[in-house]
Chains A and B, each alone.
Chain A
């Protein structure tokens, strides 16, 4: 961190440094991660540790290769946020090599080939996630059953599955609520019938709804501490919720409710933690609303009409691409400026 003499404006120092922001984001991820561990077992912390180890190693190697100060790059904590988001997006019992590919793609392709923190146009965690989602679609749909339906594997089994090339026994896996709805609808079952199935839970899927509420709590804390701008999550909720509300109002038998959309899959994690990345999101007030709404809308479209299990990653990446144009088009008017 360099200190600038405050001889000229701006005289108000920035509220927080990069490490302070990043560690607050990490702290806000704790409730969601803890609830995910409770619901899905040891795989969650194991994947977070594995991804963090890999991402830090890759970061150190890339920074050293670029002849930059390694210690400073690691101390800003941004790579840990990337690793945590990536690990929470991945299914908890994917094999170690898949996490390796994802972490390397995130840090090397998504971050450092563009010039490192602050220069990457795409959210690195989502780059890593989408690379493995496209490359290994089968593994990425292999989610464990939540705790209420099957007791998760113990630590030894978890390590054997993640590092030993084993797979989770079929009895311990379950379709995600989003997948369950998609498959059920394709078999001409109505949502009213589907809702009676055990994986669907009370609001948005057994277990999943708890994780989503955990991320919601952490996210609201981030907004309260002004680490994340409220406009992006609000825009995301509107972009995902309004089309869902319209579709649900038209035919509640084949379109899940807005509440289900908002609390299932990666919606909460994406809205509060991924879309709010200060580097890759839009930076103007109106731009942020549009950015969030676009990411939410793409999520809705991919879930409803696409071939992939969830659309949050695609929504965020597509809007990352649009962010520079959004910034340009929604530039706030300076005081006294005429159009």
Chain B
């Protein structure tokens, strides 16, 4: 199954971890209060997915099925610890903002899911590419949700970009609405649920419009409701 286009389409759209598999919702909902937070965690997750995918795929013939889950966990935990240490070294401020959610990437079921469903059954290059595609798909959702919440919540985009990009990000902050009052719900947890629900609805609407996926037709077009 080295159908590269299919792998890319799965990760980025058709089987997107954030919008379709609905895996890893905890970090997805918790850290997406701004674009940069979402991007930072998305990139960290992507790196974890690629590293763990490659490793799991490389050892897939030596690991006995009975102990595969503990082995996957160890591999993922090693990858996450490495990334955590790297973030502490290079992006300490962002690490502090993302807090507990960086070590918690270990428990992101999207990663375990890809290790089990894809990497343990496919050759190394395909597993690496799948990790990349899934990670980028996840990152895209994190960034989109972060943008939606940051825009409605505080009226800016790319606020505090220097956390991730260093001096390069200093001037990136965009004040979209001048003197915006701020819609506090968006930044609080309910906004994450509302925003994710709207994004999923948007994806389903796009799919339905393109006819890419048979969506159940509205079965009750008339004849119900009051009375």
Which one of A17, A19, A131 lies within 8 Å of B185 (CB-CB)?
A131
Q: Is B183 an interface residue (CB 8 A)?
A: yes
Asked whether B194 lies within 8 Å of A117 as measured between CB atoms, the reply is no
Question: Which B residues are in CB contact (< 8 Å) with A30?
Answer: none
Chain B positions 170-224 with a Cβ under 8 Å from a chain A Cβ: 181, 183-186, 188, 190, 194, 201, 221-224
Chain A positions 11-25 with a Cβ under 8 Å from a chain B Cβ: 14, 17-19
Question: Which B residues are in CB contact (< 8 Å) with A134?
Answer: 184-185, 188, 190
Question: Which B residues are in CB contact (< 8 Å) with A67?
Answer: 221
Report B209 CB to chain A, min CB distance, Å: 14
Q: A109-B194, A134-B190 are in contact. Are A1 and B226 (CB under 8 A)?
A: yes
Question: Which B residues are in CB contact (< 8 Å) with A184?
Answer: none
Q: How many residue pairs between the two chains, A and B, have CB atoms under 8 Å in the bound complex?
A: 36
In the assembled complex, the Cα of A134 lies from the Cα of B223 at a distance in Å of: 38
Asked whether B227 lies within 8 Å of A17 as measured between CB atoms, the reply is yes
In the assembled complex, the Cα of A137 lies from the Cα of B184 at a distance in Å of: 9
Q: Which of A113, A134, A135, A137 has the most CB of B within 10 A?
A: A135
Q: Is A71 an interface residue (CB 8 A)?
A: no
Closest B residue to A115 by beta carbon equals B220
Closest A residue to B224 by beta carbon equals A118
Question: Which A residues are in CB contact (< 8 Å) with B167?
Answer: none
Which one of A18, A101, A113, A137 lies within 8 Å of B226 (CB-CB)?
A18
In the assembled complex, the Cα of A80 lies from the Cα of B66 at a distance in Å of: 62
Q: A135-B185, A136-B184 are in contact. Are A17 and B226 (CB under 8 A)?
A: yes
Q: Is B65 an interface residue (CB 8 A)?
A: no
Q: Is B225 an interface residue (CB 8 A)?
A: yes
Report A104 CB to chain B, min CB distance, Å: 12
Question: Which B residues are in CB contact (< 8 Å) with A339?
Answer: none
In the assembled complex, the Cα of A67 lies from the Cα of B220 at a distance in Å of: 12
Q: Which residues of B contact A (CB under 8 A)?
A: 181, 183-186, 188, 190, 194, 201, 221-227
Q: Which residues of A contact B (CB under 8 A)?
A: 1-2, 14, 17-19, 67-68, 72, 76, 101, 109, 113, 116-118, 131, 134-137
22 contacting pairs across A/B (C-beta < 8 A): A1-B227, A2-B223, A2-B227, A17-B226, A17-B227, A18-B226, A67-B221, A68-B222, A72-B225, A72-B226, A76-B226, A101-B183, A117-B225, A117-B226, A118-B225, A118-B226, A134-B184, A134-B190, A135-B183, A135-B184, A135-B185, A137-B184
Question: Which A residues are in CB contact (< 8 Å) with B221?
Answer: 67
Question: Which A residues are in CB contact (< 8 Å) with B227?
Answer: 1-2, 14, 17-18
Question: Which B residues are in CB contact (< 8 Å) with A76?
Answer: 226
> A14-B227, A68-B222 known; 12 other A-B pairs, CB under 8 Å?
A1-B227, A18-B226, A18-B227, A109-B194, A113-B201, A116-B225, A117-B226, A134-B184, A135-B183, A135-B184, A135-B185, A136-B184
In the assembled complex, the Cα of A111 lies from the Cα of B186 at a distance in Å of: 19
In the assembled complex, the Cα of A18 lies from the Cα of B226 at a distance in Å of: 6
Question: Which B residues are in CB contact (< 8 Å) with A18?
Answer: 226-227
In the assembled complex, the Cα of A118 lies from the Cα of B225 at a distance in Å of: 7
Closest B residue to A133 by beta carbon equals B185
Report B192 CB to chain A, min CB distance, Å: 13
Closest B residue to A69 by beta carbon equals B222
Top 4 closest A-B pairs, CB basis?
Answer: A18-B226, A1-B227, A135-B185, A135-B184
Question: Which B residues are in CB contact (< 8 Å) with A19?
Answer: 226
Question: Which B residues are in CB contact (< 8 Å) with A72?
Answer: 225-226
Report A78 CB to chain B, min CB distance, Å: 8
